[in-house]
Structure 1
């Protein structure tokens, strides 16, 4: 995502004093409106939580808020998709000098894209991608990637107001015991090479890349919460089978070797595209789909991971 110049308020005031007319002050850029020295020193995260109507998952200094589309019943090839498999919108905040970096991915119906996008851009946030992740989804779902920098409370307010023009649930569902994962998860861990976790009935893996990914001069870490790990999700479909989807974060020279590895193992490639604008190294995100024996699919995923510069943890 492309972040705009952020200046302390005192410096900005001096610049404004030399500008021609008061109209210039009315058109100050997003990051200046969102920034203050107070926020650089102390962020009231409770107000952000209250604005977004939910508590975040915290990893290191990153706070990630989930916006699952639990209101939707989406099917692909006869499989009813759990929100945690492919319908989990999110926004993550990482503190930085002058406030916070924000980036995320919102799950929308086609009729929701324009009104949500208008609210986000009117509020100063940037759109970094709009695309599909799945094929043959009924109803069709799309994924709008968003970024920004500044006061996290202001960013949260813009995000809340944008989601309010969609049917995304704005109140978090009460916490409940996730259903048991009807898969041999120990076997999946062994094949994939990292430990997965139960995410609301979906067995999820986050495999980080070995080299750091930077955006706007900042390292995007931890990789999983910031959306730059290889994300692999298994949803049990009975009899040891699973529907799998997720995304690989790939450099350009990795894209086609991964495609070949997936296809040769019976895993469909459903999308290849960017999620961000200015990341280093340049990444492409490859989405996939299959519904078959879980261990067989895990071996196919492992073969694809072996074509990438991904670490094991």
Structure 2
């Protein structure tokens, strides 16, 4: 029966109204443990479902559970999270996360309701990133996103959901139970193979680079183990000599470029900061060079 018939059951029990579409709208006033009251509502397929929804809303309110937002989208959630974190992120981190969101998150997840995304949906999303897919211009295909990029997206989604839960907008964090599968555990995207000199090749390269003015910086990188950004950020003030007269450089910053912008920031990890010389850098190479 349609026509908007409304059944009143008292403000504490809620009301149920049959809509012209045949669905049922329920409304109920609830009170939380802190004394605040709120009017909740929703629609269901049957009157029985509406009655169960009223009971569930009352029980959750008594337990202090606020209703989740059914309008918050993944796009709104992630962009708000990035805005809030911008002051604590470095420029490079902020730009990188914004680029990952624009290129890889927004086209597939931004329109979805955040409360409706479950771990299964996120697993399917990471599997999609592991394949070639349209870039959005109708012609080009975007190559598979590597494991490192997928892992950064997972961290971004995990943080955005945590913030939304902390704000009382959501209750579940699907990113806790769905993450990209690492190559070592059977992930479809393999990590890029690192190319490096063998000891014999390095032994031939360094003398040749030292004899070439343009290749001399490469010899410096090989002898010290500095990253390119760390070497580019060095100034004459970072160069000194120890008590024995041996030269050393102090690594306290790095210089990077991202999308045409250049900036100077802290080294990649705290272990990378410090002083080094040709004789001691090799001892810290594993800690700093492979971090």
Fold match by TM threshold 0.5:
no
Which structure dedicates a bigger proportion of its chain to helix? 2
The TM-score, its normalising length taken from structure 2, stands at 0.24
The TM-score, its normalising length taken from structure 1, stands at 0.23
Which is higher, the Rg of structure 1 or of structure 2?
A: 2
Higher relative contact order (CA 8 A, sep 6+): 1
Which structure dedicates a bigger proportion of its chain to strand? 1
